[in-house]
Amino acid sequence: MKKNFLLILLFTAVLFTACRPETIIDETELPAKEAKRLIILSEGSLNHNNASLAMYDFTAQKLDNKFFETANNRGLGDTANDMIKYGSKIYVVVNVSSTVEIVDAKTGKSLKQIPMKTADNKAKQPRNAAAYGGKVYVTSFDDTVTRIDTTSLAIDGSVQVGRDPEGICIKNNKIYVANSGGLDYSTGNFDYTVSVIDLHSFKEEKKIEVGKNPYQVFADSQGDIYVSTRDIYNSSDWTKIDVPASFKKINVSTGKVETIATISPNKFTIVNDKAYVLVNNYTKTIIAVYDCLNEKVVTNNLLSGDTEIAMPYSIAVDAFNEDVFVMDAIGDGSYGNIVCYDKNGKYKYKIKGVGLYPNNALFLD
């Protein structure tokens, strides 16, 4: 009897394992490991259908700048804005093509291409993505956040937010979305809010005013939310900036929005509770570092000496060793580079010819 019971128990366990959906580990809970590969997203030139996904092997020191193209016998699409890794997959947000490309992280093979369309079949123009709890959330310029189930690889929800949402992050069982209003740049009628969405009900709870033209949002381990706003240019003279970019923190415990006055960001990321901010500066490359836990600027410029960068475009940081990777768009129509510095800002090496306008990088172990 005992033997039969054990056999039934074993059979039940096997059956349950075979039928249950893919196990998803949230990226924020993963321990830092040494990266073996670097996946690089390049957005390409607008309306030229030449976005790309490259792969750099750290051990072999070898670049494959046609990683996606070779695996799929086609290009990625037009103007890729963002990518995230979740589980065993990479989700690539392709704005002008209005698709989310779901890619096997190991092989680069496309598993599914999800058209991002409105109810009347217009392009949603997706922008950025975040993931949690077996779902991927994508902001789009139709003023929505779309929810994708990572098991069925199908859209299973949508919620209205502010105008032209950009950055998105998930913390405190909330989704935070930067509403830019950026498509109304010619009139100066920018949005100035961050939408707060309840993760479970998938409904917008409120909007927090943070300043005009909010762009990126990231969270630290304490749950505070950091927001960048972009430069607002003079409508009659595009060489002049009416309102400079700003770096702000939403203190979740007090509800107050605080300005970190010494930093004017272009792009930023938060790794190991430090914000690495690529600063707006048109004469040299500057990376400011802000300690999120101690609430102070560690350095106004991490880099020292020759920065080896022509046109700083984006930034990524390896959580394992805190190497800093700056994406250099070059700016003359040629393929851009990635320049690596150690955690002290010392130049290490350059990965040349990764793609047109590289804007994101993922570290895969």
**Would you state the structure tokens that stand for residue 201, as one six-digit string?**
């009900």
Global pTM value:
0.91
Contacting residues for 27 by C-beta, under 8 A, at least 6 apart: 84, 85, 86, 131
**Would you state the structure tokens that stand for residue 88, as one six-digit string?**
């065993």
- Asked whether the beta carbons of 179 and 194 are under 8 A apart, the reply is yes
Which residues partner with 195 through β-bridges? 177, 207
Angle, vertex CA 223, rays to CA 217 and CA 224, nearest 5: 55
**Would you state the structure tokens that stand for residue 297, as one six-digit string?**
């600027």
Res. 350: pLDDT tops 90: yes
When pLDDT is cut at 50, 70 and 90, the band that residue 11 belongs to is: very low
What confidence tens digit (pLDDT) does each residue in 192-232 have?
999 999 999 999 999 999 999 999 999 999 999 999 999 99
Percent with pLDDT over 90 in the chain: 81
Cα dihedral sign for 312, 101, 135, 201? positive
**So what's the pLDDT on residue 4?**
42
Strands 274-279 and 336-341, sheet pairing:
unpaired
- Asked whether the beta carbons of 176 and 207 are under 8 A apart, the reply is no
**So what's the pLDDT on residue 255?**
87
Angle, vertex CA 343, rays to CA 339 and CA 348, nearest 5: 35
d(CA 238, CA 233): 6
What confidence tens digit (pLDDT) does each residue in 68-116 have?
999 999 999 999 999 999 999 999 999 999 999 999 999 999 999 999 9
What confidence tens digit (pLDDT) does each residue in 306-330 have?
677 999 999 999 999 999 999 999 9
d(CA 309, CA 70): 29
Summarize the confidence of residues 8-21 as an average pLDDT: 35
- The DSSP H or E segment spanning 68 is helix 67-72
Lowest mean pLDDT among 29-38, 163-172, 221-230, 263-272: 29-38
DSSP state letter for 107: T
What confidence tens digit (pLDDT) does each residue in 248-278 have?
999 998 989 999 988 999 999 999 999 999 9
